[in-house]
Structure 1
């Protein structure tokens, strides 16, 4: 069974704890999960990398078992949490890997602290302004309402879901509500970050400044982060390489660990 560790530190005079797990030895690689995720998503991929590398998988601020302060979340706060974490572990010159939201944070971290990052691997990275996202998740907003009425309605729907063979969909909705209620970071992003004018910390205007080995991986069938987002990272970062996994969806670490490992290992050996 996966054993997580916790460390505590002060950040802007506030105490936080960071939950993480690690495996392997050698060159350190820090992994940042995606939206509504947690560090366990990297288990399958790490099993392929740990014979060669020290893999450190972090629950980001507001997610998993790390601190969940009731604040307005933004990318800068997530970056500073990662910075305090790696300083507490006394690791430097590490490879930074991020998936989806984690890719956005990883790119922003490399911009803020380029001396820390030896190489960058971005898996279906978010962080490129895209006004088409606005309204896409409005249907999830009722799941954020802090009232037992929502749970009562979802419970009433169970017989109908069974009759129509929609149990999996209903269970997914119930899981999303539970996770949104338990994780303030996703709540904050859904409530505060969906208007075009809120896209103030996307990185497409700054990533041209990155001068480090960069690998971008995306899925051919990704319906969450459009391909052009990954193409933007690749075109703006000098000498970045883009690899598209055929028939893959957005869940790259969870479902395509073998393919990711085959792509990443040659890149890591060269970096």
Structure 2
């Protein structure tokens, strides 16, 4: 009879100027770090850690202001996220890293990569363009983005009236009510964090243009959900086409959280992408 040994796992708190940053390290092998979105925390990646830990050292953390990291009186500024990640990577003494960022986590991962391109072996941006200006990245000059936004806002309003979280969406909530419940529960762990204010901070700091990335040679994989009402899926392909080492994949039957809703498909795509960078 074969035996199964669970991957090694440790937890920690890194002292930062705002307080402490909570993190977890699971598995062994090359370093693979995950940054969650506005509706999540370190627990958001439960399906990825279980999958990747046998072959990678998986690191998850809660962004500053998100429990169980320390709260911040006036709320976090996303401009500080990349420095927190840099401090965590230095603390864990990783010589190189592979990064996965979901939605808000794209701000963290893209900015870190731009500041430390020689340390990043691969970058995955899930349902996000990070600090790139969305409308400015639209090849139609904003026409397609504006049309998408009008339709998306209407769908979000309709869903929220029915108790559906926008980061999951109506289709996924109907197909996987247990996942929808879990997502909402993780989201609520943020407590009194003012997410409206934080969302404004994300918009304020998303000012980069594709011209800023014309010499960006870190292999980058953009994944998006075809049913997403938070991030326009068509931008993933448009941005990838403008990157020197960009790829994109649209998961047609997923909303804003493909890593959560379609974990098996998401994990397989990321697995294959990482394998191509070895």
Q: Smaller-chain TM-score range?
A: 0.7 to 0.9
Could you tell me whether the CA contact under 8 Å between 2:122 and 2:219 is conserved in 1? yes
Quote the offset at 1:253 in angstroms: 1.8
Matched, 1:199 2:209: no
Select the residue among 213, 218, 224 that pairs with 2:224: 218
> Which residue in 2 is equivalent to 1:118?
121
> Which residue in 2 is equivalent to 1:152?
none
1:119, 1:251 → 2: CA distance?
20
Matched, 1:129 2:139: no
Check 1:75–1:47 CA distance in 2 against 1; reply closer, same or farther (3 A cut): same
Select the residue among 251, 255, 259 that pairs with 1:249: 255
1:78, 1:212 → 2: CA distance?
20
Select the residue among 62, 66, 72 that pairs with 2:65: 62
SS of residue paired to 1:182? coil
Quote the offset at 1:111 in angstroms: 0.7
2:115, 2:124 → 1: CA distance?
16
Quote the offset at 1:262 in angstroms: 1.1
Structure 1 unaligned spans of 5+: 141-167
SS of residue paired to 2:124? strand
> Which residue in 2 is equivalent to 1:8?
14
Quote the offset at 1:54 in angstroms: 1.0
> Which residue in 2 is equivalent to 1:188?
197
Check 1:221–1:177 CA distance in 2 against 1; reply closer, same or farther (3 A cut): closer
Structure 2 unaligned spans of 5+: 1-8, 136-145, 158-176
Could you tell me whether the CA contact under 8 Å between 1:28 and 1:91 is conserved in 2? yes
Could you tell me whether the CA contact under 8 Å between 2:10 and 2:26 is conserved in 1? no
> Which residue in 2 is equivalent to 1:235?
241
TM-score by length of 2: 0.72
Could you tell me whether the CA contact under 8 Å between 1:207 and 1:233 is conserved in 2? no
224-233 vs 103-112, greater mean Cα deviation? 224-233
> Which residue in 2 is equivalent to 1:51?
54
Report the count of equivalent residues: 232
Could you tell me whether the CA contact under 8 Å between 1:204 and 1:232 is conserved in 2? no
Could you tell me whether the CA contact under 8 Å between 1:46 and 1:55 is conserved in 2? yes
Check 1:72–1:43 CA distance in 2 against 1; reply closer, same or farther (3 A cut): closer
Q: Is the radius of gyration larger for structure 1 or structure 2?
A: 1
Matched, 1:20 2:23: yes
Select the residue among 76, 98, 103 that pairs with 2:79: 76
SS of residue paired to 2:214? helix
